[in-house]
Amino acid sequence: MSGRAYDWEQAISARGRAAEWSPWWQGELPRPPVKPIMLTGGVPDPSSLPIDDLIACNEKVLREQGTYALMYGGPQGYAGLAEWLARRAHVQEGLELGAENFVITCGSAGGLENICETFLDPGDVAIIERPTFAGSLRTIISCLPEIAGVPVDDDGLRPDALAETLAGIRAAGKRAKILYTISNFHNPAGSTLTIERREQIVDLCRDAGVLIIQDDAYGAISFDADPHPTMFSLAGGTGAVLLGTFSKTLATGLRIGWIMGEKPVIDAITRMRFDMGVSPWTTRVIAEFCESGRFDAHLVQMIEIYRRKRDAMLAALDERCARYARWSVPKGGFFLWLQLAEGVDPERLRYTANEEAVGYVAGSAFFDDQSGADRVRLCYSNVAESDIPEAIMRFGRALERASVSA
């Protein structure tokens, strides 16, 4: 058999061409001399996964609900889990919601894709934070909007810059459709949006007719008692949606998240689901885990683990890296966001960190405009607590070697 090879490139859709791989991957480097310690992936502590409890919940679900757990579940997802989420929203914020205000999704990433497919047309303007999570940026870009970026500082998204951006969009005769924000324990910046800023942003978006998408993947992992009201609550339950997930609190492999919003929005998103929904088996197991009280007990343990890890990394950074970078203290979540000192060469740091066998994520991965070269994200969630001092010792050596004064 012979013939010309099929030209796959010409067959790929416009969305497919737009969906580039995450810029985290920057090319292969030589193998480091010792086993590397990776401060990269924002995933739960592997030693703390509630495996035994999930086994028990799984057996109970299959024995008591097996017929339903092994059927199709529909595009909106298992109502039992949605009802638990609604009750939790009532306890936390006094919201009067029901299962109809939720759609169960394939993690918060799947939820964002569902929202973008429902509300974004090619040529619409999507407003993002700079920096923002690279995976979410990839999802948004795949729907072919025009991207407008708004800077983030230590207190989160800047409302003054958002107002200026919205004015510029209006002056150009364009329409801003969505604002994507990680308001709590930002990935990668670690910042938390103040209540005053939340209120200003809600007012600005309401006036401009912009849908606020709050990605709250890390919101439950809070190290202090300060309230973090959702944009949905501050907006009076209209004009905003919230993305949640069990990936950061339970396990990434469960791939279960949710969208919370007003019923017309949830109905529109549900109509755009063409995948028959997520696994009823998995969602019923999670619902059993939550209803039994295991989730709250597990969350308390997780918060303490991550608090200790954060503090250990901050102490090590203070001791070893203060000359070469500065950082703020996150109030929750998984990440520390470093700004390199002027004398540190970011490109050289790639090689010195590899030689010192410590992994990090370069800041440029989180910007759509090729900026962020002087930034670094370190993750403390997935590394063993006992390895943190050694990891930062290696990173400090890498910074020193990458300094122009070295």
CB 265 within 8 A of CB 241: yes
| 90-125 burial code (b ≥16 CB/10 A, e <16) | eeeeebebebebbbbbbbbbbbbbbbbbbbbeeebb
The per-residue pLDDT for 226 is: 81
- Average pLDDT score over the chain: 94
CB 248 within 8 A of CB 302: no
Looking at residues 170-197, what average pLDDT do you find? 97
CB atoms near residue 238 (< 10 Å): 12
Looking at residues 63-75, what average pLDDT do you find? 96
Looking at residues 193-218, what average pLDDT do you find? 98
The domain segmentation of the chain, as residue ranges, is: 29-49+297-402, 51-294
Q: Helix, strand or coil for residue 257?
A: strand
CATH architecture of 51-294: 3-Layer(aba) Sandwich (3.40)
Assign 351 a pLDDT band (cuts: 50, 70, 90). Answer: very high
The per-residue pLDDT for 14 is: 84
Percent of the chain with pLDDT over 90: 89
CATH of segment(s) 29-49+297-402:
3.90.1150.10
Token pair of 21 as six digits: 């791989």
Token pair of 405 as six digits: 């004064």
The per-residue pLDDT for 11 is: 82
Segment 296-321, tens digit of pLDDT: 999 999 999 999 999 999 999 999 99
pTM, to two decimals:
0.94
The per-residue pLDDT for 2 is: 58
Segment 87-120, tens digit of pLDDT: 999 999 999 999 999 999 999 999 999 999 999 9
Segment 11-54, tens digit of pLDDT: 888 888 777 665 554 556 677 778 999 999 999 999 999 999 99
Assign 227 a pLDDT band (cuts: 50, 70, 90). Answer: confident
Segment 185-204, tens digit of pLDDT: 999 999 999 999 999 999 99
Looking at residues 174-185, what average pLDDT do you find? 97
Looking at residues 286-302, what average pLDDT do you find? 97
Query: Rounded to an integer, what distance in angstroms lies between the CA atom of residue 67 and that of residue 237?
Result: 36
Distances in Å between the Cα of 77 and the Cα atoms of 45, 259, 280, 384, 395 are 28, 11, 7, 35, 44
Q: What CA dihedral angle connects 92, 223, 307 and 252, to 10 degrees?
A: 40
Enclosing H/E stretch for 142: helix 134-142
Looking at residues 225-246, what average pLDDT do you find? 95
Looking at residues 255-276, what average pLDDT do you find? 96
**Residue whose structure tokens are 């790929």:** 12
Token pair of 36 as six digits: 């590397």
